Amino acid sequence: MSSPHRSFSKDDKDTRERFCRKMSMQEYELIHDEQEDESCLQKYRKRCMQDMHQRLSFGPKYGYLCELQNGEQFLEAIEKERKTTTVIVHIYEDGIKGCDALNNSLICLAAEYATVKFCKIKASNTGAGDRFSNEVLPTLLVYKGGELLSNFISISEQFNEEFFAVDVESFLNEYGLLPERELPALGNGNVDEQEVE
């Protein structure tokens, strides 16, 4: 009759110790791989959420005042834009009172309202320069979905002698032409290169 307790030979004991050691190394590697996988998964999720936020919530980002060179670019800026994007076009000429101040104001607003497309074009480059005499400049046109929402002729008359971006912002907000400001916690949708490899 054999004993219920099995005796191990020296070879069995060595094999068992090596097996245990290998298992420990394998487990370590497995755990380490799981941590790396989790880190990559978190980075991937964050990137997907930011991409989705930018695409679905706010659409494209602009953040600058675009100079249009001719009437064709003027029409493209309005007609080839998303239906949800507000396009604000400043029609100006050099040397006309209020045009420089409005351009400077729009540069500031473009940085703050990156989801709004801000453009400027010289009246003489529109192809309809006869409609935009010096008396009606600066003119501000606001479009959405290719449709004219508002037009403000000689808009600088709405402000004091000197006016700034906050004055133009308040004016546009009175007419409901600017969207809500983006929440700071959401950021600008860019992913830090260090965070995502």
Higher pLDDT, 20 or 139: 139
Instruction: Give the percent of the chain with pLDDT over 90.
Output: 39
Higher pLDDT, 83 or 33: 83
- Look at residue 184 and tell me whether its pLDDT is greater than 50: no
Is 3 a member of any domain?
no
Whether residues 43 and 85 share a domain: the answer is: no
Full-model pTM: 0.63
CA angle (110 as vertex; 105, 111 as ends), nearest 5: 105
Whether residues 95 and 124 share a domain: the answer is: yes
Higher pLDDT, 144 or 161: 144
DSSP state for residue 33 in the 8-state scheme: H
Query: Which range marks the domain in which residue 108 is found?
Result: 65-178
Q: What's the average model confidence in pLDDT over 89-106?
A: 92
Is 194 a member of any domain?
no
Is 125 a member of any domain?
yes
CA distances from 171 to 45, 131, 140, 186 (A): 40, 24, 12, 26
Of 10-14, 54-58, 162-166, minimum mean pLDDT range:
54-58
Task: Name the token pair of 77.
Answer: 């800026």
Whether residues 92 and 48 share a domain: the answer is: no
Whether residues 97 and 173 share a domain: the answer is: yes
Whether residues 70 and 157 share a domain: the answer is: yes
- Look at residue 5 and tell me whether its pLDDT is greater than 60: no
Cα 25 to Cα 27: distance, rounded to the nearest angstrom: 5
**Model pLDDT for residues 113-152, shown as the tens digit of each residue:** 988 999 999 998 987 777 788 888 999 999 998 999 999 9
Q: Which of 133, 141, 126 shows the shortest CA–CA distance to 70?
A: 126
Asked if 186 contacts 51 with a C-beta cutoff of 8 angstroms, the reply is no
Whether residues 171 and 76 share a domain: the answer is: yes
Most confident among 86-90, 113-117, 153-157 (mean pLDDT): 86-90
Helix (H, G, I), strand (E, B) or coil at 80: coil
Distance of CA 102 to the CA centre of its chain: 24
Helix (H, G, I), strand (E, B) or coil at 13: helix
CA distances from 57 to 34, 54, 94, 182 (A): 33, 6, 37, 10
Q: Which residues contact 117 (CB under 8 A, 6 or more apart)?
A: 62, 66, 77, 81, 85, 86, 87, 88
Q: Give how many domains the chain has, as a whole number.
A: 2
- Look at residue 191 and tell me whether its pLDDT is greater than 50: no
Q: What is the dihedral of CA 186, 190, 194, 197, to 10 degrees?
A: 110
Q: What is the dihedral of CA 167, 169, 173, 177, to 10 degrees?
A: 130
